[in-house]
Structure 1
Amino acid sequence: MNKVILMGRLTRDPSISYTQANSAQESTCVARYALAVDRRFNRDGERKADFISCVAFGRQAEFAEKYLRKGTKIAITGRIQTGSYTNRDGQKVYTTDVVVEEQEFAESKASGQTAQQNPASASEDGFMEIPDGLEEELPFS
């Protein structure tokens, strides 16, 4: 089984292109972007991220073109696809991409803007601190 689930932030706006259409087919939208995915455990205590190349086709690419921007936090599911090509210098280059099958926002627009403007509101583990006196109002204990 080849299934990937990732959550991270776009490192830049998606790069959009269209395939060339045959006489019988319409061109297909293609979106390429990279996700910065935080590593869960670090030996030295530093926060590190992996930068994962993603490619979306058709409707998923059109969604990326319309709604996704640098810094947007999304969750994706897809599959790993490897490939290779020969560059201009005659060297073989190997590629690995996640082909996006589903993508969705992982936070509201307002919370994303707040987190980017005020990153100190989250603790080191990424969870928001509970304000004093609020514990009595929580529906669980």
Structure 2
Amino acid sequence: MRIAFGADHAGFNLKERLVEHVRSRGHEAIDVGTHGPASVDYPTFGRRAARKVLDGEADRAVLVCGTGIGIGMSAGKLPGIRCAVVSEPYSASLARRHNDANALAIGSRVLGPGLAEMIVDEFLDAEFEGGRHARRVGMIEPPADAC
């Protein structure tokens, strides 16, 4: 699986660890930055990673900022991105299984690195169940003329 990673300065260190973690599991990591601890704007990196998913260059995205909230909101504004902001493994699994989430956002100031790895593992290992969930997922993205 190809995973796009994006983070701001607050998420930089955790992103680096998660990139190595997914590589150790045999996945390809596409790191769109940031590449250091200097202050940057989280929307830039959240959208950059999400765009990799939309363009078919990545299967999923993992995003990290201080809380996961800002970077997740930024990525989720792109039509076709279903980004789940989670703080524990069960929700990461259900975000995939029931909501077909294609992006995961987590907070480096909220989670320890071991828990973050568990969350990413659940997100990557789970598959969309379809069935009754497919209709609901279809309702998430409104038609262009609905707004």
Instruction: Please confirm whether the aligned pair reaches a TM-score higher than 0.5, indicating the same fold.
Output: no
Give the TM-score normalised by the residue count of structure 2: 0.25
Q: Which has the higher helix share?
A: 2
Q: TM-score, normalized by length of structure 1?
A: 0.25
Instruction: Considering fraction of residues, name the structure with more strand.
Output: 1
